[in-house]
Amino acid sequence: MTPGAGSAELEEPAAPAVAARAGRSTCRAGRLLLLAWLVAVLPLLFGSRTLYLRDALNVHAPWKSFGAAELARGSVPAFNPTWGNGLPFRGNPNALPFYPDNLLYLILPFWTAFNLHFLLHWLLAFVGVRALAREMGQGEAGALVAAITFAGSGYLLSG
């Protein structure tokens, strides 16, 4: 047996094993990141804390509060009389009165539903960008980096 023939036989089975180990470690890292994210957002899930950065507390919370109160009464008003001399409500892109997750305000406390609105969007952004990166040919590690980068970007974190 020549050295070239023997080494080729050894290298072929080793390549899938290395790829499998790398895939397992990447999946393990992804699970650890998800667990760390869940621990970080746990206070938000129970409504004991909330998001306050930029528009989340100053703009979205008052609009959502008004919308949740009106939705509990069974109406979606065209006008919000509580701000200034009144502002349109149904057509306001910050109010989002017909957005599906507004139903959370009917079954959960206000701050829990408010926080879930943002948390579900972060999770959706993470899963969507990871899937997009995988579809575009990225490996699992690259897809995780892309997903974390987008989901943790200022665009999503600024509310």
Question: 5-57, pLDDT tens digit by residue?
Answer: 555 555 555 555 555 565 666 677 777 777 777 777 777 777 677 766 677 77
pTM above 0.75, yes or no: no
Tell me which DSSP letter residue 88 carries.
E
C-alpha dihedral (113, 118, 123, 128), degrees to nearest 10: 120
- What 147-154 contacts at long range (C-beta under 8 Å, 24+ apart), as own/partner pairs, is 148/33, 150/125, 150/126, 151/122, 151/123, 151/125, 151/126
What number is the average pLDDT over the span 133-143? Answer: 92
Question: 112-135, pLDDT tens digit by residue?
Answer: 898 888 888 888 999 999 999 999
Q: CA separation (Å) from 78 to 66, 98, 125?
A: 12, 12, 30
- Please say whether the beta carbons of 130 and 108 come within 8 A: no
